Amino acid sequence: MVTQDDPNTHATARERQRKALSQRGDEASRGVFATVLGLGLVLAGAAAAAVAMFLPFVQPVDGLPVVGKNTVVQFFGWYVFLPLILMPYFGYRMSQGKPSAQWSLFGFCGLGVVGVVVLATDKELRTMRIMGPGGAADSTGPGIVASPDIAIYVAAAGVAVAIVGALALFQNARNSVRETRDLAASERHPRSEQMVLEADASARGAEAPAADALARTSGTRWRSSWPLAAAVVAVAVAVGSYFVLGRPSTPLQSRAGSQPPTSLTPAQTALQGLLLSPEQISTAMGTTELALKGTIGVMPNLAEQVPDEACRPIASPAAAEVYQGSGWNSLLGQVFAEPGPRFRHRVEQAVVSFPSAKEAGAFFTASAQSWPACADRHFTLVAMGTNMAHTAGPVSNTDGTLSITQNQDGVELTFSCQRALTVANNLVVDVMACSLKPTDAQFDVQVDSSSTAAIDIAHQIAAKVPAT
């Protein structure tokens, strides 16, 4: 116990009081830094997630270029930004000491987590099917589930960073409450100068080990810097995941479709020899690169893709609605295009058998009557959720062959297509041949707008059909 009024003791006590005040100021500075850092991370995370709403979330796969809707904002509308706006708002209120705001902030962060998980796991949104320039999806297979694209990973990183910022704000708020409570307690129970001097004398009698002091210093630094470190880790994980997991999808369906299916019916097997080879198709299209992309054994349904019933007969070969009630009994078709994710040409050739030449001829006559209803007319094709404008040209009926042109506009790959339909014995030959328009100069391709490739292919197939 201190028994006399020692000036050195009083000086030491005052020095320790100054150090205590300085330490309290440092703690306040760290609190301000933690608040600014936490709020900044919430803002940065929300901003990154907002940017992700405009980025593609589905990767194209071989032969299936993504067109139309491929961003979150296109699919779900502008209201997806509401949580991303409210996250910084409640983060600011939390930084101002509003306890009720913390649960709202964590709630919207949780909503962001749910949104990212749904987008990443919903395979239906990422299922793609072969769709020709005419708009008919190949319904012979289940389609290809594409890989998530960069939007998923940017959104995940943004939400993770926002959660780290929210945790930093939450921890700092708790520390502030604890410090305020301790200060209030000290003010209610002030210590006398004599008690301070006694505590000081006692403290000078027992030195804390240097290692303990260093550990306390390191712990303080870690507590003030962990949010930034955690945010860096979250971004690094998202970037690493994109490069490891976000690679383009393997075109399993395209590869499987490169060979005719083993489940051909006897009737389809009989039709197989009538179809042209890849070399013959390439020659007709003026190229040498076309390869078999898939085999069609089931007629596609155009009801949902072509709202205009008058234009369904010319929109795509061998459509179910067009042949319904005609009496056909067997179908075999093939799809050709260049290998790779982008193609400059695409051909669909199909042969449809009827019980007799009479039924086949009756279908040709019905087609000759229905095709003119869409001649020189605009129609809409709904593909991957996007309304794509098409323009049909005039109908030609020359030497027993129907033909019509149609142009696809307003999408990344703009095609000019020709449909051709003819009859040979009891078979209807149905063909569509498409090429990129000359305006797509970046693909270094020139297309003759008067090309008769579809007619030439239809005639070559018809020439292989026995007369009897």
Composition of the chain by helix, strand, coil, percent to 5: 50, 15, 30
Pairing state of beta strands 345-353 and 330-337?
Answer: antiparallel
Give the class (CATH, top level) of 257-463. alpha beta
Helix axes 150-188, 7-52, angle to 10 degrees: 150
Dist CA 227 CA 225 (whole Å): 6
**pTM exceeds 0.75, yes or no:** no
pLDDT for 59 equals 74
- Cα atoms in the Cβ-side hemisphere of radius 13 Å centred on 391: 8
Under DSSP, the state recorded for 319 is -
Contacts of 125 (CB under 8 A, 6+ apart): 57, 58, 75, 119
Tokens of 319: 């459509």
Any alpha helices (H) in 257-319, and if so which ranges? 266-272, 278-285, 312-315
Q: Which of 306, 304, 332, 308 has the alpha carbon at shortest distance from 318?
A: 332
Kindly list the domain boundaries of the chain, sorted by start residue: 7-245, 257-463
C-beta separation of 386 from 395 below 8 A: no
Pairing state of beta strands 427-436 and 127-128?
Answer: unpaired
Under DSSP, the state recorded for 144 is E
Length of the chain as a residue count = 468
Contacts of 165 (CB under 8 A, 6+ apart): 37, 38, 39, 40, 41, 42, 43, 44, 45, 91, 227, 231
Residue-wise pLDDT tens for the chain (468 aa)? Answer: 445 555 555 556 556 555 544 555 455 555 567 778 888 888 888 898 888 888 887 776 544 444 456 778 877 788 788 888 888 888 888 878 777 787 888 888 888 888 888 888 877 777 665 444 444 444 444 455 677 888 888 888 888 888 888 888 888 777 765 655 655 555 555 554 455 445 445 544 444 444 444 344 444 444 556 667 776 777 777 777 766 666 544 333 333 333 344 467 888 888 999 999 999 999 999 888 899 988 888 888 887 788 889 999 998 899 999 999 999 999 999 999 888 666 788 899 999 999 999 999 999 999 999 999 999 998 887 765 567 788 899 999 999 999 999 887 655 556 788 999 999 999 999 999 988 765 544 444 444 444 789 999 999 999 999 877
C-beta separation of 404 from 394 below 8 A: yes
Contacts of 464 (CB under 8 A, 6+ apart): 273, 274
Query: Token match 């149905």: residue?
Result: 430
Dist CA 107 CA 94 (whole Å): 13
Q: How does DSSP assign 6-27, residue by residue?
A: -HHHHHHHHHHHHHHHHHHHHH
What DSSP element (H or E) covers 215? Answer: helix 210-245
Residue 408 β-bridge partners: 390
